Chains A and B, each alone.
Chain A
């Protein structure tokens, strides 16, 4: 299957160009710092009550995975922006697109390669954070696998957007546009939170529109909602807060959105002159 040859060489590129090495080293640093933070907490004479400790630990989990989701989003954009647009620019794509495989397989193969890379990254980081909290606090984090899947989906949305942009614009413009949408979704999420907390339905609507344009932040908020402390009313107004939790419908919307953008990218790449 030639699709898999393309996926494999995409992964190999990540390994060969030291993307994996850089990501691995920095992940180790991230987890080490997180472990240090967890280990030094609650030391000293003023240790809080057990209930509050659990509350804080749940927030720590959200904090750590929020960092992971942010890094995964950046990794999705930065690692993929060079691939299609750069190859069209350099002409390298010509030697590929004249081989006996349809163009959609070429693009889908690359998408699969990056998706696998992101899956590995999110899995390792989520597992690392969970293990640190288990060993350090004895805290069994809830719904970690589902949260990891949502964080991965968030990265996939940004990956797919970047690849779609790359089928018709330069690498730099693709990266800027994808980051811009990520930022838009982020701010939209905040506006929605504030609107929900202050009882302002207009702001909530603005937030919803933003998440329809780019559902990345909503996927994170859904993950954050799953990871929340079981206590009601705790730590609501934070980047990891869930004053207005995205529904399951939003996850379905994100899946449809992702499939539609991917289809657009495949279609546009198949039709354009190279």
Chain B
């Protein structure tokens, strides 16, 4: 069963449309990237799914429960954008408090707090007050707060904002751990690299609307049609040989030893290579080229700056 199932969610702020027709389904164990420029409606979408903001229209279920259900929040973790909390609490107190609120008993909350302080690299600062923390340290603590009760669904809103490279690497590692554990992660981001390196699927949001949803395979974007462009550099290419490629691929360009193909299915790539070799071609390069996330982003969302 889908952990998130949204059908046509809308959100208006006065006359301004913030989110339009948000429709998506997220499976357990999936890391879902929600990508869009600033002001595209990412945070508002997350707030609606979390029950922080009421949708103006549409419906959705989260973990099989309608929006705003209180009990199922025990199975949800959330890292808000720019995590802030009571400055007078120490890091350990903050985690224990959030653990207790999430429904853990006192002892478990203490154990989890200790574990997660270590996991996010703040064990030495356990007794330090939040007021003395840097932005990156707060963000790490916020991440621990979102995960310490082993939620089935985690919302992370710009988790690496304010983090140094070490922190970003940690976030990536933790995201993979969560997936391995079977948790689904909803990752809001405008950082392409972050989404590229972790997500299974990515939605492109622009002006409140999802423009496209694409699966990511090993960090690269699978094209919408499932075909793969391939660049070939080979000697001994003859017209008959090229014509014989038609069962698997379309020839986009042929100039001397340079050949550009659109192979219809990724699974056909070995067959194409074998055919060329068997036909007497001397292959110097055979490079399947997938569109990068950045190219896709530019094509789908556009290059103009966000709001």
A100 & B142 in contact (Cβ 8 Å cutoff): no
* B80→A13 contact, CB < 8 A: no
A residues 113-141 near B (Cβ < 8 Å) are none
A contacts with B, residue count (CB < 8 A): 21
B286 part of interface (Cβ distance < 8 Å): no
Task: Flag whether B84 is at the interface (Cβ < 8 A).
Answer: yes
Interface residues of B in 28-79 (CB under 8 A from A): 47, 50-54, 70-74, 76, 78
Instruction: Report yes or no: A5 in contact with B97, Cβ–Cβ below 8 A.
Output: yes
Asked if A145 is at the interface of the complex by the 8 Å CB criterion, the answer is no
B86 contacts partner chain A, Cβ-Cβ < 8 Å:
yes
Query: Does A180 lie at the interface of the complex (its beta carbon under 8 Å from any beta carbon of B)?
Result: no
Cβ-defined contact, B78 with A95, below 8 A = yes
- Asked if B215 CB lies within 8 Å of chain A CBs, one says no
Interface assignment of B145: CB less than 8 Å from any CB of chain A: yes
Min CB gap A90→B, angstroms? 5
Secondary structure type dominating chain A contacts = helix
CB-nearest residue of chain A relative to B73?
Answer: A100
Answer yes or no: B116 CB below 8 A from chain A CBs: no
A106 — nearest CB in chain B belongs to which residue? Answer: B101
User: Are the CB atoms of B88 and A5 closer together than 8 Å?
Assistant: no
Chain B nearest CB from A83 CB (Å) reads 10
Task: Provide the bound-state CA to CA distance between A90 and B83, in Å.
Answer: 9
B51 and A5 contacting across the interface, CB-CB below 8 Å: no
Question: What sequence of 0s and 1s flags, for each residue 183-217 of chain A, a beta carbon within 8 Å of any chain B beta carbon?
Answer: 00000000000000000000000000000000000
Is A39 among interface residues, defined by CB-CB distance under 8 A? Answer: no
Question: Does residue A102 face the partner (Cβ distance < 8 Å to B)?
Answer: yes
Decide: B86 and A273 in contact? CB cutoff 8 A.
no
Shortest distance from the beta carbon of B202 to any chain A beta carbon, whole Å = 24
A94 within 8 A of B: yes
Is B50 a contact of A98 with CB atoms below 8 Å? yes
- Say yes or no: is B279 at the interface (Cβ < 8 Å to chain A): no
Q: Is the CB of B51 within 8 A of A98?
A: yes
Whether A101 sits at the interface, judged by CB under 8 Å, is yes
Find chain B residues with CB under 8 A from A5 CB.
97, 100-101
Decide yes or no whether B172 CB sits under 8 A from chain A: no
Tell me the bound Cα distance from A17 to B86 in angstroms: 10
Q: Does B187 contact A (CB under 8 A)?
A: no
Which residue of A has the minimal Cβ distance to B81? A91
Residues of B within 8 A of A102 (CB): 70
Residues of A within 8 A of B71 (CB): 100
Query: Min CB distance, B136 to chain A, in Å?
Result: 17
Q: How many whole Å from B83's CB to the nearest CB in chain A?
A: 7
Q: Are A95 and B80 in contact (CB under 8 A)?
A: yes
Contact B86 A97 (CB under 8 A): no
Contact of A95 among B72, B74, B83 (CB under 8 A): B83
Cβ–Cβ contact A92 & B84, under 8 A:
yes
Residues of B within 8 A of A16 (CB): 88-89
State the CA gap A102–B72 with chains docked (Å).
11
B290 near A: Cβ within 8 Å? no
User: Within the assembled complex, what's the spacing in Å between the Cα atoms of A95 and B144?
Assistant: 12
Q: Least Cβ distance of B231 to chain A in Å?
A: 48
Contacts of A2 in B (CB 8 A): 100-101
Q: Is residue B102 contacting chain A, with contact meaning CB distance below 8 A?
A: yes
A195 to chain B, nearest CB (A): 46
B219 at interface, CB cutoff 8 A: no
Q: With contacts A16-B88, A91-B83, A95-B142 known, what are 10 further pairs, Cβ within 8 A?
A: A2-B101, A5-B100, A9-B86, A94-B47, A95-B80, A98-B50, A99-B73, A100-B102, A273-B53, A273-B54
5 tightest Cβ-Cβ pairs between the two chains A and B = A273-B53, A100-B73, A100-B74, A99-B101, A94-B80
| Chain A residues packing against B (C-beta within 8 Å) | 2, 5, 9, 13, 16-17, 90-92, 94-102, 271, 273-274
Taking beta carbons and an 8 Å cutoff, which residues of B are in contact with A? 47, 50-54, 70-74, 76, 78, 80-86, 88-89, 97-98, 100-103, 142, 145
CB-defined A-B contacts under 8 Å, sample of 16:
A2-B101, A9-B97, A13-B88, A92-B84, A94-B78, A94-B80, A95-B78, A95-B80, A97-B52, A98-B50, A98-B76, A98-B78, A100-B71, A100-B103, A273-B52, A273-B54
